[in-house]
């Protein structure tokens, strides 16, 4: 199939080509019809004049109709994109009824019509970048000796705390949708040593923020014999790799989104900052917040902390109370854990949650009890410390959040084909 991007070059002048697409816009004059034809790769102006054989049919075309067009190409400075296709013949696949989307609709209306809005050049550009992000995450792990492996989506217990669990009726028993592959990863890492997965995670997020979905794509990795510093190195390499690939492959899409790429270039070229929790609190307070030591950091706080940054920052070693039971207490200061959250600059905040895991049985049981959880529910997980425990660390990257930040979008929903939030289940 011939695509629009392939015909927009001077050596095609005068050639006859056959392309397919949708009418992005239609302009009808007294003596001619102009159709801006759109395919996944670009736009080209197609024109038909009165008196020519395809004119009558072309004149019936409405916005968002789909068609095949055969015609000759000529360079024309007046045409958007610099080229024009003079229509020789046209075949309509589907004549569109009056299209319900125009400029200036509000966000709710657009998401109610996501199935149609999806075709817009802007949304298409975001989805192409999303495709590169997923592809490059897989290539990074494959090039670095990781095995891809899967964990179940139906689970019997919580990883990230009970308040965001989705209940499922499982043949009369209570089951949940997975929040993370974490506990299963720790079993699988004992045999495979370097593993990753890219899969949906589910969280019943009731706090509605610009960065929370109820179903999101989670790229998770677990590495045997890695400590908190080693895992940060891997996270940094991964993010640099993904951003570099997007800069190489999606120049056009970044231009369409008017994304200033300077910061993305910094991400590739400059080392990420590494700051301990207390330094992050200081930074927040220097930027006008009034956080006490021990405060948790959410979307609003991280927005302030990262808004002036030009590279991502690792926020490390949180107070133990702020993190789930599986995080390893720092042996030199057991009131803090060996963890790191990677915060994206420009106000975006957390895109990765990571850390070293508890690797001894006694500490693990104590931490489970301290969190008010039932040790019985975690017996198989505790087994992993009974029979040959090893030091290990891992991370979870929110892929939709990464896409949101790379594209500099105002809300995570824009980064997802059909977003799921507390208020949206359709379309």
| Cβ-count burial 291-314 (b if 16+ within 10 Å, e if not) | beeeeebeeebbbbbbeebebbbb
Of residues 58, 326, 350, 404, which one binds ligand ATP by CB under 6 A? 350
* Cα 202 from Cα 213, distance rounded (Å): 8
Q: Residue 189 binds what, of Mg ion, ligand ATP, none (CB under 5 to 8 Å, by partner type)?
A: none
Verify binding: residue 355, ligand ATP, rule CB under 6 A. Answer: no
Q: How many residues bind Mg ion (CB under 5 A)?
A: 1
Verify binding: residue 205, ligand ATP, rule CB under 6 A. Answer: yes
Q: Residue 240 binds what, of Mg ion, ligand ATP, none (CB under 5 to 8 Å, by partner type)?
A: none
Q: Is the torsion defined by CA of 396, 236, 420, 412 positive or negative?
A: positive
* Cα 148 from Cα 187, distance rounded (Å): 14
Verify binding: residue 353, ligand ATP, rule CB under 6 A. Answer: yes
Verify binding: residue 212, ligand ATP, rule CB under 6 A. Answer: yes
| Cβ-count burial 35-59 (b if 16+ within 10 Å, e if not) | bbbbbeebbbbbbbeeeeebbebbe
Q: Which is nearer to Mg ion, 312 or 353 (CB)?
A: 353
Q: Show contacts with ligand ATP in window 175-204 (CB under 6 A).
A: 203
Contact letters for ligand ATP, residues 151-170 (x by CB under 6 A): ---------x----------
Q: Residue 404 CB, nearest distance to ligand ATP (Å)?
A: 9
Q: Are strands 167-170 and 154-155 parallel, antiparallel or unpaired?
A: unpaired
Q: Residue 355 binds what, of ligand ATP, Mg ion, none (CB under 5 to 8 Å, by partner type)?
A: none
What residues form DSSP beta bridges with 401?
none
Asked if residue 195 lies in contact with residue 221, where contact means CB atoms within 8 angstroms, the answer is yes
Verify binding: residue 347, ligand ATP, rule CB under 6 A. Answer: no
Q: Is the torsion defined by CA of 303, 305, 308, 313 positive or negative?
A: negative
Verify binding: residue 235, ligand ATP, rule CB under 6 A. Answer: no
What the block records as the tokens of 418 is: 């059909």
Verify binding: residue 353, Mg ion, rule CB under 5 A. Answer: yes
Q: Show contacts with ligand ATP in window 44-73 (CB under 6 A).
A: none
Residues that bind ligand ATP (CB under 6 A): 160, 203, 205, 211-213, 216, 218, 350-353, 396, 398, 400-401
């Amino acid at each position: 199939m011939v695509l629009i991007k392939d015909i927009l070059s001077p050596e095609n002048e005068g050639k006859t080509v056959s392309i397919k697409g949708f009418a992005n816009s239609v302009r009808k004059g007294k003596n001619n019809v102009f159709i801006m034809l759109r395919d996944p790769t670009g736009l080209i102006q197609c024109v038909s004049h009165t008196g020519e054989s395809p004119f009558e049919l072309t004149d019936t075309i409405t916005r968002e109709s789909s068609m095949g067009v055969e015609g000759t190409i000529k360079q024309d400075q007046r045409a958007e994109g610099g080229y024009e296709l003079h229509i020789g013949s046209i075949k309509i696949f589907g004549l569109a009824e009056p299209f319900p989307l125009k400029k200036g609709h509000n966000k709710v209306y657009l998401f109610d019509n996501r199935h149609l809005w999806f075709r817009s050049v802007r949304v298409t550009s975001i989805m192409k970048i999303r495709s590169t992000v997923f592809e490059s995450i897989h290539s990074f792990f494959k090039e670095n000796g990781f095995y891809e492996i899967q964990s179940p989506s139906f689970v019997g217990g919580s990883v990230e705390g009970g308040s965001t669990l989705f209940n499922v009726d499982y043949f009369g028993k209570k089951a949940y949708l997975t929040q993370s592959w974490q506990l299963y990863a720790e079993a699988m890492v004992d045999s495979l040593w370097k593993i990753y997965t890219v899969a949906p995670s589910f969280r019943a997020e009731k706090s509605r923020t610009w960065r929370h979905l109820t179903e999101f794509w989670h790229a998770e990795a677990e590495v045997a014999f890695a400590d908190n510093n080693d895992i940060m190195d891997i996270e940094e390499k991964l993010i640099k790799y993904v951003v570099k690939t997007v800069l190489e492959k999606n120049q056009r899409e970044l231009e369409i989104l008017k994304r200033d790429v300077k910061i993305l270039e910094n991400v590739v070229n400059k080392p990420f900052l590494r700051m301990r929790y207390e330094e992050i609190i200081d930074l927040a307070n220097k930027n006008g917040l009034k956080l006490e030591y021990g405060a948790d950091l959410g979307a609003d706080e991280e927005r302030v902390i990262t808004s002036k940054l030009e590279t991502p920052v690792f926020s490390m070693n949180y107070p133990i109370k702020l993190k789930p039971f599986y995080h390893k207490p720092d042996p030199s200061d057991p009131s803090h854990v060996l963890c790191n959250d990677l915060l994206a600059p420009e106000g975006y905040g957390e895109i990765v949650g990571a850390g070293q895991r508890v690797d001894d049985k006694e500490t693990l049981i104590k931490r489970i009890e301290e969190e008010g959880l039932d040790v019985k529910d975690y017996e198989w997980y505790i087994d992993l410390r009974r029979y040959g425990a090893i030091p290990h660390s891992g991370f979870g990257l929110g892929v939709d959040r990464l896409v949101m930040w790379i594209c500099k979008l105002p809300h995570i929903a824009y980064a997802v084909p059909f977003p799921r939030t507390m208020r949206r289940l359709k379309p």
